[in-house]
Structure 1
Amino acid sequence: MSDSPSGLSKAVWTDADFPVMGWHDCRIHALSVAEDDDLPPARLLLDLDYIVRWVDPAPRQKYFTFWIAPATLVFEQTWDLTGDIGPLHGNLEIADLHRLDPPDERPYPLWHLEGHEFDLRFRARGFRQYLRTPPQHVDRQVLTMTERGGLGFAEQAFA
């Protein structure tokens, strides 16, 4: 995959990859708080369009293009979920994702999902992100529902 024009090196990412990842302007299409059969803790799942690569404008062009893949971002063992959503005048787009040191003696970090019109904070052991299809090269920062195959929380990568 590393020879791909998208620059993608793998289809499953974890919190170990956090320093080289970025979620700026990634669109969240759906959010779920789910519990496994062995209740709690919960899992926070996000169905999003992950921007794999921003492409500089071609000569005589003024706009970026993007390599984007539909992805499932799963935070494991999530608790203390707090935040605000809205008022929504558009869609949920991520501004940044921060991993902060634990504020107490509990071992898991505090995560801060900062959005343009929302703000979520929670504790979680870590995450996995699954790119569900190969990235597509498009001229906007979001895929259409047809391009992304609808909504989904599949925890399986395309490769």
Structure 2
Amino acid sequence: MRWYTADFDALSWHDVSVHGLRIVEGAHGVAELQLDIDFILEWVDAGHGGVRFRVAQAMLQFHEVSGLRLALDYVACSAGTTPFSIDAIRREPLRPPADGAGEAGADGANDYGPWRWRIEVNWPEGFLDFEASGFSQWLVGDPRDQDAPSLASSERL
């Protein structure tokens, strides 16, 4: 499965764990920002108020990234250093859309950008702010149905 910028409104990253962050240098001072995540494909009602999760390892890659600013505060929560957890990903356009903007191309990409992105982190407290033209996301591993919203280290590639 693959998703693109045009799919943004249909996706949620709430409680998604981030296991790795990589910056791939590009031309003209921009980069690709890659996040190795446990993507929650579905929150499944387990009955009696419980929930299970359909989770798969995935790569979330933002394109033509600039102005990256990030903060993760593990000290304030007095916890061990573990993968951080996303609360939400928000975006706003950096300029008004041109006529026809927002329509997906043949590759599923959306030309309505660039965007100002904010990844709000709920564990520990923090954020990532940056500008990017869009994103791609794809599954790296097979989906698993489980009680936890993130994969065990032994289940990750």
TM bucket normalised to smaller: 0.7 to 0.9
Q: Which of 108, 112, 135 does residue 114 from structure 2 map onto?
A: 108
Q: How does 1:19-34 map to 2 (within 5 A)?
A: 19-34=9-24
Quick check: 1:133 aligned with 2:141? yes
AA paired with 1:125?
A: S
Larger RCO: 1 or 2 (CA < 8 Å, sep 6+) = 2
Tell me which stretches of 4 or more aligned residues in structure 1 moved more than 3 Å.
Answer: none
Q: CA RMSD in A?
A: 1.8
Contiguous gaps of at least 5 residues in structure 2: 97-112
Contact 1:103 1:110 (8 Å CA) reproduced: no
Pick the aligned partner of 1:98 from 90, 94, 103: 90
Residue-by-residue CA offset, 1:72-103 (whole Å, 9 max, x unaligned): 00000000011311135354100000011217
1:71 equivalenced with 2:58 (yes/no): yes
- Equivalent residue letter for 2:53: F
For the residues of structure 2 that align with 1:34 and 1:86, how far apart are their CA atoms?
Answer: 24
| 1:49 corresponding residue in structure 2 | 38
Q: Work out the percentage of aligned pairs sharing the same amino acid.
A: 31
Q: TM-score when scaled to structure 2?
A: 0.79
What secondary structure does 1:146 align onto? helix
Give 1 or 2: higher strand fraction: 2
Shift of 1:39: 5.5
Corresponding position of 1:35: 25
Q: 2:129 aligns with which of 111, 121, 143?
A: 121
Q: Distance in 1 between matches of 2:2 and 2:28?
A: 25
Query: Which residue identity is paired with 1:124?
Result: A
Aligned length: 134
TM-score (norm 1): 0.78
